Structures are given as C-alpha cells and as structure tokens.
Structure 1
Amino acid sequence: MDVVLELRRKQDNLKADRQALIDQIAEIDRQIAAVDKVIQIYEPGHSPRKAAAQRGRKGGQCLGGLFANENLSARILNTLRLAQTRISSHECAIRVALQKVIPEDDPRLPELANRVAISLSGLAKRNRVEQIKGDGRAFLWRVAA
C-alpha cells in the first residue's frame, strides 16, 4: 500500500466535497437573490444589498470562500495576460467569474468586482500591473511591461 497515494486520493475526495459545498452555497445564493427580487415586488423598499450585507462574510472569507484555495491575484494576472489588451477592472472581474463558471447575473459579481479592483490596486503598488486612463472615468489595466 502506497501511503502517499492514499493520502492524495483522500485529499482529492475532500477537495471534491469542498467544491460541491461551494457549488451548493452558490446555488443557495442564487435562490436567495431570486427571493429578494420577489420581495421587492411586494415591498419596494426592500434592499437586497442590505440583506446580502447582513448575511455577509463569515470568517472574513471573500465570496463565501469561492477563492479560498486559490491566489486571486495570480488569477487576475493570468486574466490580464489572456486579454492581450487593456481591460477595466469590471471586465476583468467578469472574465475571472466566467473562468470559475460563475454566471454574469450571479449576486456575488459586484463583490467579486470590488475584490478585483482592490487586488488590482495592490498589484499596481507592487508594479505588477499598470493603470491607464481609459475613456470617461474608467481606468484600464494591463500587465506591467
């Protein structure tokens, strides 16, 4: 019996279980967002953002732990490299979401866009990316040369 092989199998099983839970949480979040929309019909003053903030982050995890086992900065850099042109932080967030198979109408996308913008600022301070003034108020980003 190869102990390392068995440990790797166990680790793979645990990762698969964890991913299944993350997917289940994402589905529950989509259902909550759908219920929020129905509540807004009956109670126009209801604010889904406030309700989402109350559900909030548990344990400081971003996006319900969706990127807990990943380096979001590395994913952002890879997204910028693949873009081969300057893109906005919002566009970068959408592309990161699509890589994680998160639909564009997912209620977590605004939070992801915020995290991407924060990460881009941090990467800019470390001279990993460059910020370029785009059309209007938007800034565009690219990997630093």
Structure 2
Amino acid sequence: MDVVRELRRKQDDLKADRKALVEQIAEIDRKIAAVDAVIQIYEPGHSPRKAAAQRGRKGGQFLGGLFAEDNFSARILNTLRLAQTPISTHECAIRVAQQKDIAEDDPRMSEIAGRVSIQLSGLAKRNRVEQIKGDGRAYLWRVAA
C-alpha cells in the first residue's frame, strides 16, 4: 500500500468536499439576499447591506474566496522555504500573490500583504517562523529552524 498516494487521494477528496461547501455557502448567501429583498418590501427600513457585510466578515471571505481552497499558512511557509533566504513581509505577499497570477501593482495587494502579515505573526507565535532584523528598519522572515 502506497501511503503517500492514499493520503493525496484523501486530501483531494477533502478539497472537493471543501469546494462543494463553499459553493453551498454561496448559494445560501444568494437565498439570504433574496429573503432580504422580500423583507425590504414589508419593512423599508431593513438594511440588507449591513447584514451582508457582517456575514462576509464572519465567513472569512478573503478577496472573494480567491484563497478559499488553500491553506494560507501552508502557502506562506512554502513561499518562505522556496525563498531560501529571509524575505520581508511585502516580498512574501508579492510571491504569494504571484502564485495566484496577481500582479505586484494589483490593488488587492494591500489586502494580501495585510493578511500575510497577520498569518506571519500567528506562525511566529507557534514557532513556525522567525523574524530577524534586516537592513535599516526592515524585518525579514524565515522558516524556524
């Protein structure tokens, strides 16, 4: 029995299940929006935009689900491993974005960089990455030894 092949098969199954759930959530969100529209007919003061914004935050939809199928922490760790030398948060964000064909000058880069920064801080707390002093005031990141 090839353990790695079985694990990859299981991982593919789990990714497919996750994708199906993301699609179900999107369908539920569409139904909620339809109900909001009906509520607005009977209660003109009802504000569906406010409720939708709260649902979006709680659901953790990052860049419209662009990274929904990914383990973002694992993607960052892999980016740091491939870098071979310590890199800045900004450089890490650029490399992560390029993996999704997002250009460095894309307006979404600031959101990606912010999310990468948050993830790096969390990984540092779990001793998965290390922050080291770079040139000037910059800090660089590397996978913890």
- Distance (whole Å) between structure 2 residues aligned to residue 56 and residue 90 of structure 1: 28
- 3-state DSSP class of the match of 2:130? strand
Q: Deviations over 1:65-120 (max 9, x none)?
A: 11111111000000000000000010000000111111111111000000001000
Alpha carbons of 1:132 and 1:57: their partners in 2 closer, same or farther (altered >3 Å)?
A: farther
- Distance (whole Å) between structure 2 residues aligned to residue 138 and residue 108 of structure 1: 22
- Distance (whole Å) between structure 2 residues aligned to residue 57 and residue 138 of structure 1: 36
Give the residue type in structure 2 aligned to 1:139: Y
- Distance (whole Å) between structure 2 residues aligned to residue 56 and residue 85 of structure 1: 40
Is 1:81 aligned to residue 81 of structure 2? Answer: yes
- Structure 1 unaligned spans of 5+: 1-7, 19-54
- Distance (whole Å) between structure 2 residues aligned to residue 68 and residue 98 of structure 1: 16
Report if aligned partners of 1:57, 1:64 keep a CA contact under 8 Å in 2.
no
| Cross-structure match for 1:121 | 121
Return the offset for 1:57.
8.8
- 3-state DSSP class of the match of 2:102? coil
Alpha carbons of 1:113 and 1:56: their partners in 2 closer, same or farther (altered >3 Å)?
A: farther
How many pairs were matched up?
A: 97
- Distance (whole Å) between structure 1 residues aligned to residue 79 and residue 135 of structure 2: 21
Alpha carbons of 1:74 and 1:133: their partners in 2 closer, same or farther (altered >3 Å)?
A: same
- Distance (whole Å) between structure 2 residues aligned to residue 62 and residue 137 of structure 1: 29
- Distance (whole Å) between structure 2 residues aligned to residue 104 and residue 57 of structure 1: 29
- 3-state DSSP class of the match of 1:79? helix
Alpha carbons of 1:67 and 1:57: their partners in 2 closer, same or farther (altered >3 Å)?
A: farther
Return the offset for 1:60.
3.1
| Cross-structure match for 2:70 | 70
| Cross-structure match for 2:108 | 108
- Structure 2 unaligned spans of 5+: 1-12, 24-52
| Cross-structure match for 2:9 | none
- Distance (whole Å) between structure 2 residues aligned to residue 70 and residue 111 of structure 1: 16
User: Structure 2 length as normaliser, TM-score?
Assistant: 0.60
Return the offset for 1:130.
0.4
- Distance (whole Å) between structure 2 residues aligned to residue 66 and residue 57 of structure 1: 17
